Amino acid sequence: MRLRVLGTRVRVYDGAVSDTAPSVTPSRSLFIGAIGVLALSVPFFVFGLGFLDTKARIELQCQRGGGCALTRSGWLTKERPLAFYPGEIQSARVERSRTPRGDQQNIYRPVLVTTRGEFPLSHQWMEEEREANRTVVSVNRFLKNPESPGFTLWHDNRPQASRMGLIFTVAAVLVLLFGLWLTWRAVRRRRQERAQGTAPGV
């Protein structure tokens, strides 16, 4: 007697019978996230623009006769010039200090001495005394002879002083773009929900 063996059918798993649909973030959640991200970009812009507008350019302009004007400006705005009449400026001197790193190295800054107080002529301190002294010599030479031709001198430290502002501003732009992208996704999702009749209030 021959035994007949029936072949077995190969079974292939083709997934669960009732596959779950991929999760989709509701439009309301996307809108809430977008608003939060957009609001987060505001302080970044405030700090960024504030640092960018650090008044790190100091300009002294003196006219024949002894009148001078001191102006401080940033990348975005500048302060109203501070006018000094003949006789108000007494001299210029080099101010000395120590580096904050604790290495006991001297740093220097030119200062304008007036009857209304002392005004730095440079936003940042300098490592070389002769660099600060050049400004002092020019001012004192003019004060000895006010009828000599006028001059304009300035120290522009805006690039160094605004680095932090640039970082904050770039971060603000990136956060803003991410918030706009979330808003665009939320709008698209809302349209899909309305088309499917699942939007809130439908």
pLDDT digits (tens, 9 = 90+) for 18-41: 555 456 678 888 889 999 999 999
Task: Let me know if residue 202 belongs to a domain.
Answer: no
Closest C-alpha to 126, from 115, 134, 116: 134
Tell me, yes or no, if the pTM score tops 0.85. no
The stretch 156-173 carries a mean pLDDT of 92
Query: What single DSSP character describes residue 78?
Result: B
Which pLDDT tens digit goes with each residue over 167-194? 999 999 999 999 999 999 999 888 888 8
Tell me: do 31 and 127 sit in the same domain.
Answer: no
Q: Which domain holds residue 190?
A: 27-51+164-195
Question: What is the C-alpha to C-alpha distance for residues 44 and 158, in angstroms, rounded to an integer?
Answer: 19
**Percentage of the chain exceeding pLDDT 90:** 62
Question: Do the domain assignments include residue 13?
Answer: no
Domain count, the chain: 2
Name the DSSP class of 181.
H
Q: What is the mean pLDDT of the chain?
A: 86
Does the pLDDT of residue 202 top 50, yes or no?
A: no
Residue entry with tokens 């400004």: 135
Residue 32 domain-assigned (yes or no): yes
Same domain flag for 46 and 31: yes
Which pLDDT does position 56 carry in this prediction?
Answer: 94
**62 and 128 inside one domain:** yes
Residue 10 lies inside a defined structural domain of this protein? no
Claim to verify: residue 96 and residue 112 sit in the same structural domain: yes
Q: What is the structure's pLDDT at 98? A: 83
Closest CA to 48 of 190, 191, 176, 179: 176
- The predicted structure's pLDDT at residue 197: 73
Q: Which long-range contacts (CB under 8 A, 24 or more apart) does 127-136 make?
A: 129/94, 132/94, 132/108, 133/94, 133/108, 135/92, 135/110, 136/92, 136/93, 136/94, 136/110
State percent of the chain over pLDDT 70. Answer: 84
pLDDT at 66: 87
Mark whether 40 and 137 lie in a shared domain. Answer: no
- Is 113 or 198 the better-scoring residue by pLDDT? 113
Whether 63 is covered by a domain: the verdict is yes
Residue 25 has a pLDDT of 76
Q: How far apart are the first and last CA of the chain?
A: 73
Q: Which residue has the tokens 């991200």?
A: 37
pLDDT at residue 138, as a whole number: 92
Mean local confidence (pLDDT), 128-137: 92
Is residue 9 a part of any domain in this protein?
Answer: no
Q: Is the pLDDT of residue 117 over 70?
A: yes
E strands of the chain, at which residues?
A: 57-62, 68-73, 82-84, 89-98, 106-114, 117-120, 151-156
Query: Does any domain span residue 125?
Result: yes
**Any long-range contacts for 128-136 (C-beta under 8 Å, 24+ apart)?**
129/94, 132/94, 132/108, 133/94, 133/108, 135/92, 135/110, 136/92, 136/93, 136/94, 136/110
Overall residue count recorded for the chain in this entry: 202
